[in-house]
Amino acid sequence: MADIKSPPHGVLKHGINPLFLRDEELRQAMELLFFAYRDFTTEPDTILVQYGFGRAHHRALHFIGRHPGITVSELLGILRITKQSLNRVLGQLIAQGYVEQRQGKRDRRQRLLTLTRSGHSLEEQVSADQRARIAKAYREAGAEAVEGFRKVLLGIIGTEDDRARFDRAAAPRR
């Protein structure tokens, strides 16, 4: 990407104009995301390994917890992993009593997923540090920055369907 100079008008605090970002600011943002993700996942990874689980298990627990009754097909669409990988993850979570699977009432081919009491407890334990990190960062940044951050994340999401999930009410569906 070419290094484009910002015009003097529209320059924000710290001299960055979001309409004319230079390659260095973009690369620094990428680096910040890498460091943030590393630190965001360290504590959950430490907990998950004690159960013989990994990040795919955490993602499954998160989305099943946020969307009780989610279908296996919907979860596959969100996680974008192979059926084989998801079946392995779900098989472990079901066998160890963290996820319950039942047939759909209208379509008996559907497999609807919900967290068990143990699943809720594990999901809470694994995501507690992440929620605390986000809450602290939000408090320190302030409401305007939080809304800006949300817009940036929405802009990074690759598909309109995935972005549209966040146009709905903030509460999880179902």
- Which domains are seen in the chain, by residue range? 17-164 (1.10.10.10)
- Please, where are the H alpha helices in 51-82? 55-66, 72-79
Q: What is the pLDDT of residues 107-119, one digit of tens each?
A: 778 889 999 999 9
- Kind and range of the H or E run holding 131: helix 117-141
Please give the pLDDT value at position 105: 78
Please give the pLDDT value at position 30: 94
- Cβ proximity of 55 and 45 under 8 Å: yes
Rounded CA-CA distance 59/69 in Å is: 15
Distance between start and end Cα atoms, the chain: 44
Q: What is the pLDDT of residues 132-165, one digit of tens each?
A: 999 999 999 999 999 999 999 999 999 998 999 8
